[in-house]
Amino acid sequence: MVAISARIGAWLPRGWRDLFLQIALYLFADTTYELARGMAEGRASLAFANGERIIDLQRTTGSLFEPTMQAWALSERWLIDFANQIYLNSQFTIAMGFLIWLYLFRNDAYYFMRNMLFVSMGLALVGYIGFPTAPPRMFPEYGFIDTVNSYSSVNHDSAFAQLFINPFAAVPSMHSAVALMIGVTGFMVCRNRFARAFWLFWPLVVAWVTIVTANHYWFDVAAGWVVAGTSFLIAARVLAHFNPETWAWSRVADHQRARA
């Protein structure tokens, strides 16, 4: 066992110590994130009022297209099934899988991505605590349908789901923020043209999915993209100064040039 552990440690980009450090950082960040995000719970009246405000804003600007888009998708059951599966898996299965792959095989780009993700989580908490918002799926009177509850085996409102889901954390859409961050990173670091094309379109696919499943308004998606962009700037212009040899975004570009 010692020999196997040593061989695996030698294969890891920075050994066992760094791997355990990354796991500990994610556990700490996620625990803090979930605890702080829970502060939005118990504020249902404010969350529904804020949801109404977004609906009124979009209606006033003529941009409340989500019910029409969803009605069109509902006419094709396979589209809804596809959207539900992407929504349920994009934030955990795909994003987590990408981070593991990035750490193991494109390690020089991993640390900047990690920093962006942590910053985005902090920024999102500002929205969740300061502006708790009920998602469109909670407004059936406006034509929204909760497709995950209605067309999949997952129940948003079950006691188990509530352990992992804050129903009033709609603004910003972290699905969209994370999809944009890993999409751009994946496009930058992947070598295969099909993989690069996949990551290029991934943020748009996730944005469509979050809207057509009635889990987010387009306003939430836009807010999520703003969070992603702001996280990039903070990670590049602030955090990278503390350890530019490891955390700088330019390392991704340098890596690309070295392979060219």
Tell me the C-alpha to C-alpha distance, in Å, between residue 236 and each of 103, 113, 193, 241. Answer: 19, 10, 26, 8
Helices marked H in 61-153: 66-74, 77-89, 95-105, 107-130, 147-151
pLDDT tens-place string over residues 156-168: 554 444 544 677 8
pLDDT tens-place string over residues 186-219: 999 999 999 999 999 999 999 999 999 999 999 9
In DSSP notation, 128-172 reads HHHS-B--GGG-GGGT---HHHHHSS--TTSHHHHTT--TTB-SS
Distance CA 147, CA 10 (A): 46
pLDDT over 60 (residue 253):
no
Of the pLDDT bands very low, low, confident and very high (cuts 50, 70, 90), residue 37 is low
Distance CA 248, CA 197 (A): 24
Tokens linked to 162: 């509530």
pLDDT of residue 252: 57
Distance CA 69, CA 205 (A): 14
User: What's the start-to-end Cα distance of the chain, in Å?
Assistant: 40
Predicted TM-score (pTM) of this structure: 0.90
Signed CA dihedral, 184, 190, 191, 196: sign only: negative
Mean pLDDT of all residues in 26-46: 77
Query: How high does pLDDT run on average in the chain?
Result: 87
pLDDT over 60 (residue 152):
yes
pLDDT over 60 (residue 254):
no
